[in-house]
Amino acid sequence: MKFGVNTFLFVSPFTNDTTSIFQQLKQWGFDSAEIAVEQVSHLDPIYVKSELDRYGLTCGALCSVTGPDRDLRGTPEQQQTSTDYLLWLIDAAAPLGCSNIIGPVYSAVGRAESYSDKERQAQWKLVVKNLKKICRYAEKKGVTISVEPLNRFETDFINTCDQVLQLIKDVGSPALRVHLDTFHMNIEEKNSAAAIRKAGKLLGHFHACGCDRGTPGNDHIDWKGIAAALKSVGYDGQVIIESFTQDIKMIAKAASIWRKFEPSPDDIARNGLKFLKKTLA
């Protein structure tokens, strides 16, 4: 396994001017950085890759950031904006030495409403249609898209591993994978280890954070069960700490971070990495 951290723990937005965080990540012992791309104008993939190389890190994944203007089940304009953004991420993957786009690519985070069965079916068809086009492009570029279920408070669309597996079946592309997150699974899955086993070889990415979005290991999550499940499916990919704090205002609001969970982002990174290496490696 490779161990990394999402840039949202330290900075927003991530840009060419914030790559200095890479030096500290390397000193702490991380293998990779998961780069959250809020706007395509914020970074030059070639330059960021040179900075990753400079500090001996890899790009663990490109984290898609969806908002009101990016929604594959939204208005025609939102669908197009989201499609253009995801295609850009796919193009950016190669110069970054990265082959995985991750996150809730299907809809705007925070869109959580009640819809009729008919409306939901129509939205599902839209997402499938849009992802078929995007995945065809990803296949040509040798890039995978790992779809993340979010908890019910952040989306009404995909909350469980089962739903992602159905989406993969309906889209029918080898470029589509499953992305699981311990925080969301703690809320939505009956058993996190069982969800991992259900994903099996389709598990393309893994986020590790505490049940309260804090430090992995400093919580009640069944980490031993998760470790056994990851081993049983032969997962040997990226394990990314995706914890948040109040310091990054944009993500704090999106993820409802209203209080201080841990002493500092540095504590989350250092202690989380130590725990994950001991428990999962």
Low-confidence winner among 25-39, 128-142, 229-243, 249-263 (lowest mean pLDDT): 249-263
Please give the model's pTM, rounded to 2 decimal places.
0.96
Residues 47-57 pLDDT 10s: 999 999 999 99
Question: What is the reported pLDDT for 109?
Answer: 95
Please report which confidence band the pLDDT of residue 247 belongs to, taking 50, 70 and 90 as the band edges: confident
Which tokens belong to 110? 């925070």
Is 80 exceeded by the pLDDT of residue 280? yes
Section 31-60 average pLDDT: 97
Question: What is the reported pLDDT for 182?
Answer: 98
Residues 76-133 pLDDT 10s: 999 999 999 999 999 999 999 999 999 999 999 999 999 999 999 999 999 999 999 9
Is 80 exceeded by the pLDDT of residue 68? yes
- The full set of domains in the chain, from first to last, is 2-280 (3.20.20.150)
Question: What is the reported pLDDT for 62?
Answer: 98
Please report which confidence band the pLDDT of residue 222 belongs to, taking 50, 70 and 90 as the band edges: very high
Residue of 262 and 248 predicted with greater confidence: 262
Share of the chain above pLDDT 90, in %: 92
Question: What is the reported pLDDT for 244?
Answer: 84
Catalytic residue positions?
Answer: 148, 242
Low-confidence winner among 64-68, 86-90, 274-278 (lowest mean pLDDT): 64-68
Short-list 206, 150, 151, CA closest to 178: 206
Section 128-149 average pLDDT: 98
Residues 169-212 pLDDT 10s: 999 999 999 999 999 999 999 999 999 999 999 999 999 999 99
Question: What is the reported pLDDT for 261?
Answer: 86
